[in-house]
Structure 1
Amino acid sequence: MYFEVRGEKTYCSNGTGSIDPNRQSVVFVHGAGLDHSTFVLASRHFARQKFNVYAIDLPGHGRSDGVALDSINELAKWLRDALEALEIKQTSLIGYSMGSLICLQFAADYPEYLRSMALVGTSIPMPVSDPLLNAAKDNSHEAFDMANTWSHSKIAQLGGNENPGISMMMSGQRLLEASREDVFFADLKACNEFTNSLELAEQISIKTLVFVGDQDQMTTPVKALKVAESIPNCEVIYLSPAGHAMFSEHPNAVLDGLIKII
């Protein structure tokens, strides 16, 4: 469905479901260079379970108009405006990678909107290596190659998939390639320049679930666990073998975890 945020056309997937104001809501926030399709399995499941599902394309991503915002704080404010536009009063919030930072900032600033939260592939801070950042700034395909490789565990890089007939590596590459010029750099810049400390996580009062991949090279397990330890009411799901792309590598395990908290 399309709706308007700050005067710009914005897209979100409802997981093939309909919207009913009497149902509970679930909002998904994607990572750098990605879009709503990251959450296909989970969004469809919760739509079938009679939740209102909103897998949102951030500005400049996927089917949404606008320019990509290069600040996590600004993205959190934008997300608040999106929820207002959708007339969502309370929701569960699921964030992947960059989306997890947006969710953390949102939860600290606007806790009244949230029922629960899940973070997949998270870290505070979330530094980006110079080679990746510079390649993205130049709109070089090398940025996609690096990010895609580092996002998958060693076994995932060899091939195979829990979903028959689908290549995880190629799916990840094609999704990044579909992003518009300068969008990946804006996203990575937002992550790299996010200056809040773990004190942000300590402010989170809602029930939270953190997914940790044992071979995650983008947001290392040590840093993800520190985020989880800093959140007062938090549970951890540790996936192995798993890289950063947990929605691709372990779709069923991630879904099982989300079911518990949503």
Structure 2
Amino acid sequence: MKLASGAYCYTGVRAFDAGLPTAVFIHGAQNDHSVWGLQSRYFAHHGFNVLAVDLPGHGRTAGPALRTVEDMAAWLIAVLTEARVERAILIGHSMGSLIALEAAARAPGVVIGLAMVGSTYPMKVADALLKTARTDEQTAIDMVNIWSHSSIAHKPSSPGPGFSVLGGARRLMQRMSALNPDQLFHTDFSACNAYANGEAAATQVRCPVLFLFGTKDVMTPPRSTKLLTTALAQGKVVQVDAGHQMMAERPDAVLDALFGFARGAVEAKGA
């Protein structure tokens, strides 16, 4: 679905129904809506509207990439307003989780659930990675891609026989660079590194919260999340046996956790 503002949202090939709650999927740095392929399609065919967004400068949403998490959250809220979403469950991965947190704090009347996948706060990025992103983006992509996965050789239980989880993620990041050559990688990771409003935003969140962490995640390791989980004390923590890109490594486990949480959030709201 392409909105009048130019924002692209994948809907799971289902028409928007104003009577249903809306699951809003927000991708991470150097990614697009496709990272939520299995999860978004399932939600769309099991009682939810789906808006899996492409952030500005990513995928099918044109324009320059936004440079701060706050600006991305404001953009997301504008998309929800334009789409006339009344009840939203925000599901964000990595950078997308910070966007979801900030948006949930700003729009408490609309957001009825917040799922933070592969998240931490502060989400600091190594100086060496930021420097490499400026001077050699392909090497930076390779660095992050290796760190984001638990193995270079996934078991047959991954999405399909012969399917390369690592290779698919690498090609997606390369495609984002080709679509937006204006140092998109550096812009995204700098936004994560600079975001400093997480604790303040957390105090404004009143809805149910899910933290979904990968036990083998070295990008946002579970041990680094204490500040975030303490600030959002109402949150439930679920861990899956995966690295940072858990939606691809353990798609079914991620889906089960997210769908169960979303249904619970809708029931808690009584809507």
Match of 2:254 in 1: 254
Match of 1:237 in 2: 238
RMSD of aligned alpha carbons = 1.4
Alignment of 1:1-262 (within 5 A): 1-5=1-5, 9-153=6-150, 156-160=151-155, 161-165=157-161, 166-179=163-176, 180-181=180-181, 182-240=183-241, 242-262=242-262
Which 10-residue stretch deviates more, 89-98 or 15-24? 15-24
5+ residue gaps, structure 2, are 263-271
What CA distance in whole angstroms lies between the structure 2 residues aligned with 1:30 and 1:4?
A: 21
1:19·1:52 contact (CA, 8 Å) conserved in 2?
yes
Aligned residues: 256
Deviations 1:171-220 (A, max 9, x none): 11011001121111111110011122534324321101001112211112
Change (3 A) 1:123 1:33: same
1:203·1:231 contact (CA, 8 Å) conserved in 2?
no
* TM-score of the two chains, using structure 1 as the length reference: 0.93
Deviations 1:107-154 (A, max 9, x none): 11221111111110111110111222112223520011011001011x
Aligned-pair identity (%): 38
Q: Give 4+ residue runs of structure 1 displaced > 6 Å after superposition.
A: none
What CA distance in whole angstroms lies between the structure 2 residues aligned with 1:138 and 1:70?
A: 19
5+ residue gaps, structure 1, are none
* TM-score of the two chains, using structure 2 as the length reference: 0.90
What CA distance in whole angstroms lies between the structure 2 residues aligned with 1:162 and 1:221?
A: 22
What CA distance in whole angstroms lies between the structure 1 residues aligned with 2:144 and 2:260?
A: 30
**Structure 2 counterpart of 1:244, which letter?**
H
Deviations 1:18-63 (A, max 9, x none): 2111111110110000000010001100111131100000001001
